[in-house]
Amino acid sequence: MSFEAKTHGRHRSAPCRLLAVAALALMPELALAQAGGPASTDAAMRVRQAVAALRSDRPDDAIRLYDAALAADSLPNDQRALLHIDRGVARARLGQVRAAIEDFNRAIQLVPESATAYNNRATVLLEAGATAEAVRDLDRALILAPNYGAALTNRAAAHVKLGNHRAALSDYSRAIGLLSSDGAAFAGRGRVHLAQARPHAALRDLGRALAVAPRFAPALRARAEAYLALERYKDAIDDLGRVLEIDRDNIEVVLLRGYAAIAARDIPAALRDFESAVSMQPQSNAAVEARGFAEAKAERYEQALNDLSRAIEIDPRSAQAYAYRGWVYKLMGRPELGQKDIERAIGLEPERPEVIWARGEMLEAMGRSDEAIVELRRALELKPMLREAAIALERNGAAQIAASHELDEQSLGEWRLQVRGNQYFATNARFPRLTVPLELMGDGVPRLTDWSMRPEASQHIGLLRFTAGTIDGKGGPEEVEHAAVIDTRARRVITIEQVRQGARAAEWTWTETKLTVAGLEGGSEEYLLVAPVDRELAQQRRPDSGPRYSGGGSQTPSWAPWAQGNYGEYTPERRRGRSSDGGGSAKAKPKTLFDLLFKN
C-alpha cells in the first residue's frame, strides 16, 4: 500500500511497499529552513538521520530519531505534522498499527488539510481490515487533493476488497491518467481485469506494470494467471519460474506451475514441481494431492493411490482427494472401489466440479453413457477449462457445452453472439473449434459491429469488432468498442484490443507481419501476425485434447486461483499449501489484492 510524505504541496505515488517516497528527503530541509537557534540545528540533524534510516530500511532507528526531533519545542505545527507522518510510516513498517494511527491522527489534528495523513491512515486501516473506514479517509484525501495518484490507487484497492470492481477500475484508470508510470495502478487494474474474466486486458496492464518493475513478483504471477486463462502455458510457466527466482519458497507458485505443466502435457515437469512442493511442506494436503494426480497422469497408479490416501489422512474432508482416488481406481479397472470414494466425495462437496467430473467418469465405467455425459457437461458448466471432463465428453462422442442461447439482434452475418452463463462469445461455423470471448469493459450487452479480413500477405488474419459496454468518461458515459484479432488458420485469438472509447480512437498500425496498437493511455502493444507453430499448438491438435476454447478469456482454468469464486481471500495456510476445507490445489485461494500487490 502506498505511504507518502507531503512536501511543498506535491503528491507522488509511492512504490508498492511500506516505504516513504523519495520526496521524503526534501522534508528535513524544509524543517531546517523554518527552525531557528541552536536547538533547531540539532532537530534538523536528527531529522536528516531519521530520513536516512527510513530509506535504509532501519525503521527502529528512524523512530528513535523522530522521537528526539519531536521533543524540540520550537517546531511549528506544519513541521511537527510532517514528522508525525513519517514516524507513522516507520511504525507501520514495523507492524505497530495502533501507534502508526496515533501518529497520523496527531498530524491531522495539527494540519487538518493534510491529504497525506489521511492517505497514510487509510493505508493502515485497510491493512487492518477496516475497509469502509479506509474509504472514508481516502475520500477526504481526494477532496483535499483531487489529483492525488497514490490515494486513488489505495481507494481502488479498497473498492476491490468491497467487491466494487467498477469503482476500482475507475480509480485505477484515473491514477494511470495522472501518472502513466504508476506500476501499482497498472498491476492493480490488471488483477481486477482477471477477476472480471478479461485476461487480454489484464495482460496489457500487467505488461506495463512489469515494464516499470521487471522483478515485481505479484505482477509476474498475475500475468502467469492471465496466460493460463488464454492457454498460453509455456508463457505462464516462464513467468512462474521468474516468480520462484524471487520467492523460492512460495509453495503456492510451485503448485500452480505444476498444474500449468500438466495442462501443457509435460507430466515430468509437473512431477518435479509437485515433488518439490511435498519436500517443502510434507504435511501439505494440496501438494500431496497434486503429486498423486500427476502420478495418475503418468500411469503410476500405485504411487498415485498412496499419495491420495496420504492426502486423505492429512485432511479427511478432502472431497477432491476422494474424487481423484475414485478416478484412479477406475483407470485401474476397479470401479467398485472407485464408486465408494465418489460417494464419499459427493457427501462432502456434491457441487464441486471435480467431484461431478469423477462421478461422470464412474458412470461411464458402469456403461451409463447418457448419464455420464450429463454429469460431465455439468462439471464443464461450472469450470469450462476442466480438461479431464472435456476429454471424457469427446471420448463419449458428445459435443462441447452448448450456448444457453444466442442473441440474434447482436449477431453479425455468419458470426453468432452466444451467451454462456454471464459471459458472451462469438462463434462462426466456418471456423470450427474457435470461440471468441467478448471482453466487456462496462455495462451493457455486446454487439458485433464488423468483420473483415486483412488485405496484407497475412490474409489469414481477421478483425471482429464489437461494442464492449459503456463506462464513465470525463464528460459522462462513453461507449467502448473492441476488436478481436483472429488467426483463422491457427483457429486462435491473437489479442483483443481497444478500438475506441467515446470519440477517442486508438491508433492501429499494420504491416504484413506485425500489428502495433497505440492505446488511449499512451502505451503501445505489438503483436506478431505470423507466429511459428510451437509445441503448444502442436499439442493442442492432438486427438485426445478434448474440446478447446481458442483464446477463451472467460474459460477459467480449474487450477487458476481466481476460478474458485473467492477472489480477495487468502490465509497463511493457503500459501503453505494447506487446504482447510479439504480442497486440493485447484481449491487454493489466492492472496488478497493487497497481499499480491504490496506484501511480496
Q: So what's the pLDDT on residue 560?
A: 37
What's the pLDDT score for residue 443? Answer: 85
Strands (E), 276-428: 405-406, 415-420, 423-428
| Amino acid (one-letter) located at 357 | W
Give the pairing type, strands 492-501 and 504-505. antiparallel
Res 19: pLDDT: 29
Strand order in the sheet with 415-420: 405-406, 415-420, 423-428, 436-437
pLDDT by 10s per residue, the chain, length 600: 555 543 323 333 333 323 232 222 222 223 333 333 334 577 788 888 988 998 888 999 999 999 998 988 888 999 999 999 999 999 999 999 999 999 999 999 999 999 999 999 999 999 999 999 999 999 999 999 999 999 999 999 999 999 999 899 999 999 998 988 888 999 999 999 999 989 999 999 999 999 999 999 999 999 999 999 898 999 999 999 999 999 999 999 999 999 999 989 999 999 999 999 999 999 999 999 999 999 999 999 999 999 999 999 999 999 999 999 999 999 999 999 999 999 999 999 999 999 999 999 999 999 999 999 999 989 988 886 688 888 899 898 886 655 567 888 899 999 999 987 778 999 999 998 898 999 999 888 999 999 999 987 667 899 999 999 998 887 888 999 999 999 999 999 999 999 999 999 999 999 888 999 998 887 889 999 875 544 444 444 443 333 333 333 333 333 333 333 332 322 333 333 333 333 333 334 334 333 333 333
Kindly state the cell numbers that stand for 177. Answer: 491518467
Residues 6+ apart with CB under 8 A from 550: 231, 433, 434, 435, 436, 491, 492, 493
Please count the other Cβ atoms lying within 10 Å of the Cβ belonging to residue 213.
17
Looking at this protein, which amino acid is placed at residue 529? L
CA distance 309 to 304: 8
For domain 217-401+557-587, give the fold.
1.25.40
Q: Beta strand 507-510 with 514-518: parallel, antiparallel or unpaired?
A: antiparallel
Burial letters 506-530, b for 16+ CB under 10 A, else e: beeebeeeebebeeeeebebeeebe
pTM above 0.85, yes or no: no
Residue 574 confidence (pLDDT): 33
Q: Report CA Rg, the chain.
A: 27
Q: Is 181:212 a contact under the CB 8 Å cutoff? A: yes
Q: Which fold has domain 1-154?
A: 1.25.40
Our CA dihedral for 61, 62, 63, 69, rounded to 10 degrees, sits at 110
Helix (H) or strand (E) holding 337, with range, is helix 335-348
How many CB atoms within 10 Å of residue 139?
15
The answer to whether 1-154 and 217-401+557-587 have equal CATH topology is: yes
- Residue 89: phi and psi, rounded to 5, are -60, -45
Instruction: Give the Cα separation of 92 and 97 in Å (integer).
Output: 6
3-state secondary structure 202-258: HHHHHHHHHHHCCCCHHHHHHHHHHHHHCCCHHHHHHHHHHHHHHCCCCHHHHHHHH
- pLDDT at residue 582, rounded to an integer: 36
Domain range annotation of the chain: 1-154, 217-401+557-587, 405-540
Classify residue 98 as exposed, middle or buried by CB count within 10 Å of its CB (0-12, 13-18, 19+): exposed
